[in-house]
A and B are shown apart, each in its own frame.
Chain A
Amino acid sequence: MVDTNHDMDTAGIHTAPMLLNMGPSHPAMHGTVRMVLTLDGETVIKCDAEIGYLHRGFEKECEHSTWTQVFPYTDRLNYVSPLLNNFGFALAVEKLLEIEATPRCNYIRTIMGEVARLSDHLTCMGAGSLELGGFSGFLYAIEARELVWDLIEEVTGARLTVSYGRIGGLKNDLTADFAERWKVVRERVLRIWEDINRLLTKNRIFLDRMEGTGVISQADAISYGLTGPMLRSTGVDYDIRKDKPYFAYGELDFDVPVGTRGDNYDRYLVRLEEIRQSIRIIDQALLKLPDGPVNCDDPRVVLPEKERVYNSIEGMINHFKLVFEGIQVPAGEIYSYTEGGNGELGYYIVSNGTGKPWKVSIRSPSFYNMCPISKFVEGGMVADIIPTFDTINMIGGEIDR
């Protein structure tokens, strides 16, 4: 801790550092984080970030719910891309159960996951523009995000807290006209992408604010456990979708943008390009989408159809046991990881053989992305905290759980 009796005498004038509290309710601290800054004029000498304002006790709640009841909790982690969280958890439990999802389910999970990633990156870029004062860029990105959310709502029934994934499958299949709707949404999102690109990417003021600020070196990034666009902006080519492909990523063709300098501008560019790559993935996946059932065929895991539940004893008992006692997952533990919007989203789950998890530990990318916050901020100016904080894309729900 810095000693607050640290006096600085400049040219014989007695000065002392100022303690500024960028508190939890602050326009720039989206997701409620408190940063206690020690300032010397405009330069930050020391930064102490205090998190936990959105701590809701997920992990404790998960220990008292059945495996399927955990899905609404996962929605509320990274609440701008809830589908990715859902599917990550479903994958983890399926690994413990040692079952495979159907091919169609894998493709749909890929598609909807990338749609959620679109929403995440658009929000991040929009918020970046907003915080820097370019209000119009924000509203363009939000317009694109509205279109994407309309699409999500048609498929899952909700815009934000979707609870779409299930262990062994999904809640329901895609809508019949998903491909046509996607074409419409895709055109408009790409046009808005062009607009944002032309408004911000070569804008002199934007460059001044973003280039050279919030720099982190590659070694530091790896040591602090950064993942996702933050790590890729420093030049490390680490993307779980390419390294350990899951769902249908192994069969699709896409590029992973990698930056060079590890500053805010590179993170912005990485996210900008990832939007286009997501669109590419969705296009390919829709072409290759196989037919077949969405849920896997295992009665120990998947709820039976309603006709069987209402018309046969076996169906009713199956449904009853699955809902009341939960899916009986064999004892063991697994650490399963997928690529969330901000980086590696990991679930370390421990099962003791019953229908309720023994432990669900969530490796949230935002938590680890925020670890080196003092490295980013100290030595820079107060005004640089804003773009740095935006490109870190700290989502309060994820960091505090």
Chain B
Amino acid sequence: MSAEDIKRLGRKFRKEIIDTSDRLGMDTALVTKESLVEVLTYLRDDEKLQYNMLRHLTCVDYLHREPRFEVVYALYSVSRRQQVVIKAPVTEDDPVIDSIHHLYGCANWAEREVWDMYGIRFKGHPDLRRILLYEEFEGHPLRKDYEKQASQPRVELLRAERDAFEEFKTYHLGEPAEGSRV
């Protein structure tokens, strides 16, 4: 049945769909990144389609291929029990794509993870910052040109660590600590 959904999608968005596929039972459609929000809104809101759950949002890095990245959206219709996968290619020179946080609540964190791991910016995302790694991290680790054993520069001492150093000075070196009221 999801094959028919892909066909319906193809009929409506003739220009925007680059490719469809049905390999191994997984119905996929490759759409341009500019039309992504339109396509996903249609998939979610149309009564006959009702793809109301974003199952997974991830990105694949095909190094040495143009376009380099491909952002994958796996959608699921809970009432009709059908799955469809939408993919949008993103080039390395312009790694920006529209955010869908207004369509699905979980896209907020999933997009943050793709930004964190692959460096793809999501236009319109309210709070795009790293989710699994710390903010001072440099680089985007899941890209194929990021080495597995790469090292990171040292981060400046945060305030909390400075407090621990002060305690050391008080108790072991005997100097008075700031801020203690006797």
Contact = CB atoms under 8 A, between A and B. Distances in A.
A371 B78 contact: no
Nearest to A223: B105
Interface stretch (A58-66, A116-124, A157-165, A254-262): A58-66
A253 B141 CA distance: 45
Given A334-B24, A371-B105, A222 B148 contact: no
Interface string A362-373: 010001101110
A220 B106 CA distance: 10
Contacts of B81: 243-244
Interface string A74-96: 00000000000000000000011
A224 interface: yes
B54 interface: yes
Contact of B142 (A60, A223, A332, A372): A60
B41 interface: no
A284 B75 CA distance: 34
B50 to A, nearest CB: 10
A368 B55 CA distance: 9
A374 to B, nearest CB: 10
A223 B141 contact: no
Nearest to B106: A225
Nearest to A226: B106
Contact of B106 (A333, A359, A368): A368
Interface size class of B (residues with CB under 8 A): 35 or more
A51 interface: yes
A341 interface: no
A325 B62 CA distance: 21
B148 A61 contact: yes
Interface string B36-76: 00000000000000001111101011000000000010100
A363 B105 contact: no
A224 B104 contact: yes
Interface string B118-144: 000000000100111110000001101
Contact of A225 (B83, B105, B133): B105
Contacts of B142: 59-60
A224 B105 contact: yes
A52 B61 contact: no
Interface string A233-251: 0001010000110000000
B159 to A, nearest CB: 12
A359 B58 CA distance: 10
B52 A332 contact: no
B148 A64 contact: yes
B85 interface: yes
A76 to B, nearest CB: 15
Interface string A289-300: 000000000000
A350 to B, nearest CB: 5
A222 B24 contact: no
A57 B150 CA distance: 12
A98 B127 CA distance: 41
B14 interface: no
A147 B68 CA distance: 50
Contacts of A243: 81
A55 B133 contact: yes
A33 to B, nearest CB: 12
Interface in B1-43: 23-24, 26
Contact of A335 (B56, B109, B113, B133): B56
A26 B26 CA distance: 43
Given A96-B24, A225-B104, A367-B109, A361 B58 contact: yes
Interface string B98-117: 00000011101110010001
Given A332-B24, A346-B74, A52 B132 contact: yes
Contacts of B106: 223-225, 368, 371-372
A194 to B, nearest CB: 34
A256 to B, nearest CB: 14
B52 to A, nearest CB: 5
A222 B80 CA distance: 13
B134 A52 contact: yes
Given A52-B132, A335-B56, A371-B109, A98 B24 contact: yes
Nearest to A238: B78
A67 interface: no
A237 to B, nearest CB: 9
A114 interface: no
Nearest to B130: A52
5 contacts: A223-B105, A224-B104, A335-B26, A363-B55, A400-B132
- 3 A-B pairs closest in CB distance: A225-B106, A52-B132, A224-B105
Given A243-B81, A367-B113, A370-B109, 4 more contacts: A52-B134, A55-B132, A98-B24, A224-B106
